[in-house]
Amino acid sequence: MRPFHLLLATLLAALVAGCGGSSSAGTLLVELHHSGRPGAPDIRTPEQTASFRLEILQPRGSDRVLPVRTHEPSGSGGFSIEVPEVPPGAWVVRLSALDSKGEVLAHLQEPVQVNAGTRVRLQGWLRSGPAPEGLLFVANSKAASLTILRLTDGFLEDLPLPQNPQYLFSAQGRIFVTTSASQMLAVEGVRRTIALLGAPPGAFDVTGAARGVVSFPTEGGIRFLEPETGQLSGLFRTGNQACGLSSQVGSTVWVVHPLDATMTALDVPSMALGATVPIGAPGARVEQDPTGSRIYVLGGGPGEPSPPFVRVLEPSGLLVRHFTHQLGSPAGVLVQDGRAYVTDSLRGELIVYEDSPEPKEIERVPLGEGAPGELLSDGHRLYVAMSASAEVVVVDLATLKMAGRFRVGQAPLGLALLR
């Protein structure tokens, strides 16, 4: 299924000799729909729209193949433009609604095939925010492969690996992969070359920014990864069964220790260990808000020693809030823009909490029975790995509605975005 499909999008192609240009080129008609009702998360043209920007892009590199065109909205807020002399081939049409400052309010993005002498019509609704771009890497944990999703046009590529992948970390154009065989791989994002790193066994989770952090549960510690060389430091012992890692905020990453219900702060630039503080329950996944002032810890569920929970803590370990309401098996967490997003793999939900000094639940988004787990954001959309249904689900953050589903490999787990 193509991503970000347009509810009423139609591609009508007919061979018309000499229509809109010479026989060696095609004509493209792009229109916003003016009648009917959009389906979520499709939207009408925002009232703040001052102009539209039309781009014809190459799918692989998002390079423009024709000059950018701007157009003022009609009285109804609609858009209609015909572009002659489009070279034959596969292109991506990107239409952006801009405010008076040139910021993108909404977009239409769709792949089209233009043939010589062909008139192609693209018609549909807008989606909120800027158009997606870049490559989404998905670790197929039971298929020994990565699925690479090209976000501009939804093209899917399968990259076989020598081992089953688990978690992913992107840096300097490469994707670093922990595997079920307790090794690490480095995948070059453009050429798709694969290198086996000289890592000790036991690698589990991986995170970081300019420098990576890798957890080693069986050794009870972490190692620091230098992306440029692929080398790992010696072991830093942090606590029993060090596993889940937060993203890096400032210089700090957190690692949780389920066996002794604690978590440890890591200073990544200086490669130093900070304080170890109690959680109050065995945690499995951890994340911090963009200020580093609140830490979200997930744990419990079927087969675990404690009931399912989401605990919000200060860096000192002081409890801010403890959530247990209608939780089945909390699996993944991401915090941004005043919200915390938690997946529940047992209930098939995305739970949205207000990230504030007094956190509270504000929304639940049903995702289906595919066991949602790890999640990643591009700032405007969430990409959620559905391990049981072998899919990645896309959620529009402005509307909290599902915006697409992609079929990937077996048991998708870790996610990484390369732009």
Tell me the pLDDT of the chain averaged across its residues. 91
Query: In terms of C-beta density within 10 A (0-12 exposed, 13-18 middle, 19 or more buried), how is residue 79 classed?
Result: buried
In whole angstroms, give the CA distance from residue 307 to residue 303: 9
Q: Please give the pLDDT value at position 347.
A: 97
Q: Could you tell me what percent of the chain has a pLDDT over 90?
A: 84
Nearest to 122 by CA among 152, 94, 85, 151: 94
CATH, range 135-418 = 2.130.10.10
Q: How many CA atoms lie within 13 A of 245 on its CB side?
A: 31
Rounded to an integer, the average pLDDT of 37-58 is 92
Query: In terms of C-beta density within 10 A (0-12 exposed, 13-18 middle, 19 or more buried), how is residue 73 classed?
Result: middle
Tell whether pTM > 0.85.
yes
In whole angstroms, give the CA distance from residue 168 to residue 10: 37
> How far from each other are the two terminal CA atoms of the chain, in whole angstroms?
22
Residues of the chain with CATH 2.60.40.1120: 12-128
**In the numeric block, which tokens belong to residue 40?**
């979520």
Hunting for tokens 């929304």 — which residue is that? 363
Q: Is the pLDDT of residue 284 over 50?
A: yes
Count how many residues are written for the chain: 419
The 8-class DSSP code of residue 79 comes to -
- Mean pLDDT check: name the lowest of 46-60, 61-75, 247-261: 61-75
Q: Is the pLDDT of residue 264 over 50?
A: yes
In whole angstroms, give the CA distance from residue 389 to residue 386: 6
**In the numeric block, which tokens belong to residue 93?**
């049409």
**Helix, strand, coil fractions of the chain, as percent rounded to 5:** 0, 50, 45
Q: CB–CB of 168/415 below 8 Å?
A: yes
Q: CB–CB of 287/246 below 8 Å?
A: yes
Architecture of the CATH domain 12-128: Sandwich (2.60)
Rounded to an integer, the average pLDDT of 361-374 is 97
Residues of the chain with CATH 2.130.10.10: 135-418
Q: Which positions ≥6 away from 380 have C-beta within 8 Å?
A: 128, 129, 130, 132, 396, 397, 398
Q: CB–CB of 289/279 below 8 Å?
A: no
